[in-house]
A and B are shown apart, each in its own frame.
Chain A
Amino acid sequence: MKRIFLYASCCLLFTAGVGCKKYLEKEPDNRAQVNTPEKVSQLLGTAYPQANYQAFAETMSDNVADIGYDIGGSAGNVIHDPFFFIDTKENEQDSPEFYWYGCYSAIAAANQALQTITKASNPADYSAQKGEALVARAYAHFMLVNFFSKFYDASTAASSPGIPYVTEPENVFIKQYDRKTVQYVYEMIEKDLLEGIPLIQDKVYTVPKYHFNKAAAYAFAARFYLFKKEYDKVIQYANLAIPGNNFAANLRGWNTDYKNITDVTELFKIYAKATENANLLLVETSSLWSRYYYTSRYGLDDDKQSSIFPRPDPLTGGNFAYALYSLGGDHKLVPKINEYFVKVSVNAEIGLPYVMVPLFTVEEVLFNRAEAYAYTNNYAASITDLNTFASKRINNYSPSAHNITEARINSVFGTSNTRDGLIAAILYYKRAEFVHEGMRWFDLLRYKMPVKHSTSPDASGNVTVLAELTADDPRKVLQIPPSTELAGLPQNPR
């Protein structure tokens, strides 16, 4: 009898031991499992940086001035520090650090997806997801390297520090990373991009405009090669992005549809709507930029507005159709940054504000192609692109009255070098088109332009310069977050 009991209890202990492994494998809650192509697609829904660069990129650019304390009060650090080119300690929404985190979170999602695909028994079924993951990973790194490393220049790229190019999920508490070089990062981006593009299939997306659809991926390639100054490829990918040279029909209808919208709140909302053909890729970002961009002390003042949107536009002689608004007469704005406010509970008064950001647009593809044409000496094609753009931006546009010509460009920009004139014209239109969106910052980097931040002109038209960036100012490279020290990254020089 006693033996039976002894054996029985021993058996019980043993079987319990074996059963334990399975028993303890149960996940502690109903967390998601990613095990099908559809689930990987869902995971890739978060492979886009859900952080907004517009606030700091725009505030660092030459589109802003100090409107003054009396009108704007004191600005928070998120706006104040970029205006003065200070390495901000701020890490809340709209700060460079927040954007850094947003990009790397996106990369983590892409890497998690890629790891799932590699481990799957049927990787072939995941090819569309793999394409999206690679391109998304390339995009987030691309944005990081442009903001946080010295801007790409073939001559210095191999020696200037890049940003860590992450290709696998992090699985330890603190992992060490290496910045390598800008050259390396660009190579990795190109590799991922070229590997990913052919795999992309628009049909797997439920909301294609929020994913790297084919057009968006090509638009990304066009921008990438523009930054890399490989202009033939810019033209190649721009043409792929908008097949059949069908730009005109897809540009934002500022002088047509938008003109008819009388309610400004409607105008605010339409800009980042997926149904707008001009938007190729959108992302939702946690951001307060919709509030800051026309209320903050450092913003678009009267003076900047009239220089960015001159009346008439000297190139066409017509007037811009952009809706130009002002708040209290001093803050100028184009109603395009809209807020989507998510309350913490259905009746709460607090919540998180979101801004939908168009990451790639048809307009940008058109500008990139025009610029590439200019560099490949196809001036006529470049001018045609500018005319296409003007046809959607000039009030009561008439091809005969508003035609942009080489002579006009050269006379407006006071040059006899048509390429220089074209580049100036493109940058001028681009500045107007993307005002408030931070795109100007990249042009300032690409062309190594100095930036001056001044007060708004006083009664006698005088301004005081408050902050200044020289052409090669080290502060043009944003400082990487100090907490990256834990990961072994050196800071950018100051």
Chain B
Amino acid sequence: MIKKALGRSNVQTKKITCFFCSIFFLLFFISSANAQTGAIRGKITDSLEAPLPGVSVTVKGTKIGTSTNASGEFTLNNVPARSTIVVSYVGLATQELTLSAGQTTLNLTMHPDVTDMQDVVVTGFQRIDKKKFTGAAVTLKASDVKIDGVIDVSRMLEGRAAGVSVQNVSSTFGAAPKVRIRGATSINGENKPLWVVDGVVLEDIVNISNDQLSSGDPTTLLGSSVAGINANDIETFDILKDAAATALYGARAMNGVVVITTKKGRSGKLNIAYTGNFSTQLKPYYGEYNIMNSAQQMSVLGELERKGILNSDILSNPNYGVYGKMFDLISKPDANGNFIVINETESKAAFLKKYALANTDWFDILFQNSLVQEHSLSISGGSEKSQSFFSTSFYNDGGWTIADNVKRFTLNFRNNYNFSDRLTAGFLTVGSVRQQKAPGALSRVSNPVSGQFDRDFDINPFSYALNTSRTVTPYDENGELEYFRRNFAPFNIIDELRNNRLSIDVLDLKLQGELGYKITPHLRYEFIGALRYVKSTREHEITENANMANAYRANDNATIASRNKFLYTDPDNPSAPPVVVLPFGGFYNRTEDKLISYDIRNSLNYTNTFAEKHLVTVLLGQQVKSADRQNFSNTGYGYQYDNGGIPFVDYRILKQTIESNFIYYGMGKEYDRFAAYYLNTQYTYNGKYNLYGTVRYDGSNKLGSSREARWLPTWSFGGAWNMEEEPFLQDVWWVDQLKLRASYGLTASLGPATNTGVVLRSLTTNRTFPLERESVIQIANLENSDLTWEKNYQTNIGLDAGLFKGRVNMSLDVYQRKSFDLISLIKTGGIGGEPIKAANYADMDAHGGELLLSGRIFQKRDWGWRSTITFGYSTTKITNAKNQPIIFDLVKAEGGNTVGYPVNSLFSIRYNGLEHTTGVPTFVNEKGEVSPNVYLQDQNISNLVFEGPVDPKFNGGFSNTFNYKNFSLNIFLTYQAGNKIRLYPAFRTSYSDFDAMPKEFLDRWAMLNDEQVTTIPSVLEAYYRYLVNASGASPYNNYNYSTARVADGGFVRLKTVSLTYTFSQSLLKKFGLNSLSVTGVAANPWLIYADPKLKGQDPEFFNTGGVAQPIQKQFTLSIKAGL
């Protein structure tokens, strides 16, 4: 197979053909002359000594062949003496045996084909013999890393490859994990690796920035570019890490490359494989978290009442829970004129007691143990002339919460044709359809004024369960939905989740064609072309019954009207009371993203061996790539879901949006054009010394209209020394293989700036009166003729070893990376008209190391234990950047960037204890003074405390596989360390009776001198709250961003435990099956260690509301059958 890919051939040019013909003829003649033929019988078994049916047994160089029967037995007739017998079976190592004279029986044990994957690195451009490869790359076999029941293939890499960090910032279907290969390379640009599937770059549907990834915004559901890939179709992952490995991706390769190779059909018997996964996910439960129960919560509410915070005034607040309901009932009689609650202590206490005992289990109400099913079927087979692979799958997740579910269908159809010995072709059709429902969510808005991220109408079930008081009840005593108040309108989460939903539809289709033509035995032409079309639609349906729609109609009294920000005040009549502008209906908001991309590549590949010692391979090629993206969004007002779908639009709601200069629909296009030329040369001397060099010349339109900046040459070279070939290691029995390799090169990536020419944007002016507004054009960015790509020089030194006769494999890499020309912001004098420019001037250093160690600890006939450990270390430091971050940029959970610190560093405001008289937290503020007030927009960051990077410095995994007879048990742990996490922002200046409080509040400051024993701030009395609010300070919010609210990010997680039983062949025979195995998998069952300060908060998860969900504990039963 390797030979074929490298273009070495068994087909000759005319002259040589003639020559060889005569030799063949001669050989044939000789063998015919010896024509003693006979029958050979035998039995083929697997390593467990079970018979293997369907094994192909052929005589090399002839057409004689057969396959084994159900008992693994075969008979071959008319076999020439001393022939070579070839025994092959998919997934097992092919063996060749030359018959000894007079031999008539052949019994053979076949072993799994491990060499097949270990020996080749697939770069997407080439398949390179691993022995000759000089770069740092990891090849993972999908069947080894696949976690049954986990749908997103990018999550399978976690802990499997040293140097690859995968952080599950959200685990909602479609949301991408934060994947970093050797850490960050860019300060403001993207840091995610390039995904390549079957030689074609997989473009993202939407570009999601580093910070957006963890935002919980609905767009993140399109973040995972691999969400449409059926994990069962994948053969291997190749993770390319250093400059030599990624060189052929040139100016896109700075962040590393993950190459996915999908399965192909093979000639031979038709194979039908079915995989069925049946999973269920555990509901979260309060025991894991740190939330007050309803009795504890009610006692705090009692304190709030005594402190004058909970009184009948809360009826004018946007949100209320139990107390609000009580005051409402006191103030209003029911239909019969009776008061359900009267304003007397006894009556009130009776009312409250009911809720104090409620202990609502929101997790139980909003989450479910649903069944997740995944069925995948593949059929493959073919002849010498054509091979096909077909697969289809269906995935159905009924939803971990009551608000979400996913269906996904995939199709993969791949045909390869060998028209002649010279001409080959392949065609792929890959498609997927996704239908997903999620709770209605809006994008969050960063508010540096108060230091919060605001998201209106957030109904994320997970954050709702964590944040809603357990005194609030979903049903009343009659079993009817019970409503409290949010946004001045009645609110019940169950009702809201029914009436406020996101529907996401994604259609993803890829057509790919490949052509190969052998021009001479040494020269091969290859073409690969792919077209991909992705269309996604996101519908946000907010019915007229949704709280979000009713909030627009909350107009109960003048106080509410004046406070309700969803009502409208006519600017021409500012003193008139605000009015309702959405009298009927809800909203129908639609967002569409479209991607059309193509990728065409032509290449010539030359391979030749000179003097039997000098192996030369040259690859020359050209590539053209394009991706056009379109985004459309529209806000539809007044859609009446219950009334025939007729919109009712009050003109004033449009007037309101126009007057506030909000654009109620929009469309944007992006065009990505890419062209490149590349040349790669490999040279091997005597199988020992390898040299590898690549030059690539890339052109892109992304930098803007300037012609000079558009092109960039990148290059790399490397060398490898196969030391085991040296005489001095020939006799060392315990060294099977030892390779030292080194590489150096320049890689690049496009930064976020696009202004090689001036960038002009249209906008509508912000003027008070609509009639005075006009459409103007603004200089968004001045021309920067110095703009170029972000680049880095990478040095990598690695050592690969195979020791003790295949028992131990080791791979060690150390690297250093100097990034330069990184885009960062700099404050210029502003004389050109752009005070803060983004330009290529920043530098960053990174270094790290990786270790992979795997081995068979013991292997007996029935017993076996294999173990793999991966370890990665990476650290970055920004050595030059002149951006001026404000405090808020650095203290937020995602971290920020400033010179002298790692990329995405987390800083904190220095906490300085609680105030003696009020229990209000104090800090060292931006001026260096002790104060409850910190101005989060200040640029003086010198008083902040550096906590650590947000990205882990260390990460890896530890996998152990035990097998006993037909059982196989895998225990897989992952770990990370060296990073810091901002704790959940639990503290607020004021709390309503709707809010849940963490149990820390039980230790809060309650009286004078408590500050000496606790760091938990007080719940403010009404008067102090007034003072704090009046002073403009937000000490409670500052507390969330202080040194008191940081935890260590290190953890050890039991990622999976899986137990597989493989049915023995003898049993399967009865059912006509080839193979059958049953696997039980527990995914993420146990977080073994995490910082105790987290108190249940998942160290990977960013609880940002919206559509974000933490990773679930999932149990899967997987059945795999082959026919």
Contact = CB atoms under 8 A, between A and B. Distances in A.
Interface of A: 2, 5-6, 9, 12-13, 16-17, 20-21, 23-34, 39, 42-43, 45-46, 73, 91-92, 100-101, 104-109, 111-112, 164, 166, 169-175, 177, 206-207, 209-210, 263, 265-266, 269, 272-274, 282, 284, 286, 338, 340, 342-350, 352, 354, 356, 480-481, 483-487, 489
Contacts of A101: 830, 835
A177 B829 contact: yes
A366 B668 CA distance: 49
B774 A487 contact: no
B311 interface: no
7 contacts: A13-B602, A42-B775, A105-B830, A263-B575, A346-B662, A347-B566, A483-B829
A31 B675 CA distance: 22
A175 B831 contact: yes
Interface of B: 443, 445, 447, 449, 454, 456, 517, 519-520, 523, 525, 565-566, 571, 574-575, 602, 604, 622, 624, 635, 656-657, 660-662, 664, 668-673, 675, 677, 699-705, 707, 710, 754, 758-762, 765-769, 771-780, 782-787, 826-835, 837, 839-841, 937, 1031
Given A29-B670, A29-B754, A272 B782 contact: no
Contact of B701 (A24, A166, A273): A24
Contacts of A12: 602, 622
A169 to B, nearest CB: 7
A484 B766 contact: no
B699 to A, nearest CB: 5
A45 B575 contact: no
B671 A27 contact: yes
A265 B772 CA distance: 19
A32 B668 CA distance: 12
Given A171-B782, A347-B566, A486-B828, A284 B575 contact: no
B833 A170 contact: yes
Most buried by B among A17, A173, A175, A282: A173
Contacts of B525: 5, 9
A33 to B, nearest CB: 7
B827 A349 contact: no
Contacts of A46: 776-779
A84 to B, nearest CB: 16
A279 B8 CA distance: 83
A484 B702 CA distance: 30
A282 B766 CA distance: 12
B668 A29 contact: yes
Contacts of A25: 701, 705
Contact of B772 (A91, A173, A210): A210
Greatest chain B CB density within 10 A among A27, A164, A340, A489 is at A27
Contacts of B672: 28
A169 B671 contact: no
Q: Quick one: which of B767, B783, B826 has the most chain A CB within 10 A? A: B767
Contacts of A34: 760, 777
B624 A23 contact: yes
A173 B831 contact: no
A2 B520 contact: yes
Contacts, number: 242
B693 to A, nearest CB: 20
B783 A489 contact: no
Nearest to B775: A42
A174 B828 contact: yes
* Top 3 closest pairs, chain A to chain B, by CB: A108-B833, A170-B832, A45-B776
Given A20-B675, A345-B445, A483-B830, A169 B622 contact: no
Contacts of B669: 29-30
Contacts of B840: 173
A484 B769 CA distance: 36
Given A105-B779, A108-B779, A344 B445 contact: yes
B673 A26 contact: yes
A104 B660 contact: no
A343 B658 CA distance: 11
B777 A43 contact: yes
A209 B774 CA distance: 12
A173 B841 contact: yes
A101 B670 CA distance: 30
Given A39-B777, A349-B565, A487-B829, A27 B766 contact: no
Contacts of A345: 443, 445, 662
Contact of B837 (A173, A272, A284): A173
Given A32-B760, A34-B760, A112-B758, A45 B777 contact: yes
Given A43-B776, A43-B777, A166 B662 contact: no
A343 B759 CA distance: 25
Contact of A210 (B656, B774, B782): B774
A32 B762 contact: yes
Given A5-B517, A349-B454, A484 B830 contact: yes
B675 A23 contact: yes
A342 B783 contact: no
Given A172-B785, A269-B768, A483-B828, A347 B777 contact: no
A32 B758 CA distance: 10
A92 to B, nearest CB: 8
A73 B1031 CA distance: 8
A27 to B, nearest CB: 7
Nearest to A175: B832
Contacts of B831: 104, 164, 166, 170, 175, 177, 484, 487, 489
Contacts of B1031: 73
Contacts of B565: 347, 349
Contacts of A173: 784, 786-787, 837, 839-841
A439 to B, nearest CB: 21
Contacts of B662: 343, 345-346
B701 A170 contact: no
Contacts of A486: 826, 828-829
A282 B841 CA distance: 39
Contact of A342 (B574, B622, B661, B772): B661
Contacts of A340: 766-768
A105 B833 contact: yes
Given A24-B699, A169-B782, A484-B830, A31 B761 contact: yes
Contacts of B602: 9, 12-13, 16
Contacts of A28: 670-672, 701-704, 754
A233 B660 CA distance: 43
B727 to A, nearest CB: 42
A282 to B, nearest CB: 8
B271 to A, nearest CB: 35
Name, among A17, A45, A352, the residue most crowded by chain B CB atoms within 10 Å (CB to CB): A45
A479 B677 CA distance: 52
A457 B778 CA distance: 48
B657 A346 contact: yes
B783 A171 contact: yes
Contact of A26 (B701, B759, B765, B775): B701
Contacts of B772: 207, 209-210, 273-274, 282
Given A29-B754, A175-B832, A487-B828, A109 B779 contact: yes
B759 A356 contact: no
A323 to B, nearest CB: 16
A133 to B, nearest CB: 13
A59 B776 CA distance: 32
Nearest to A206: B774
A149 to B, nearest CB: 14
Contact of A170 (B624, B759, B780, B783): B783
B777 A42 contact: yes
Contact of A24 (B520, B661, B710, B829): B710
Contact of A352 (B673, B701, B766, B767): B766
Nearest to A488: B829
B1114 to A, nearest CB: 36
Nearest to A14: B622
B699 A20 contact: yes
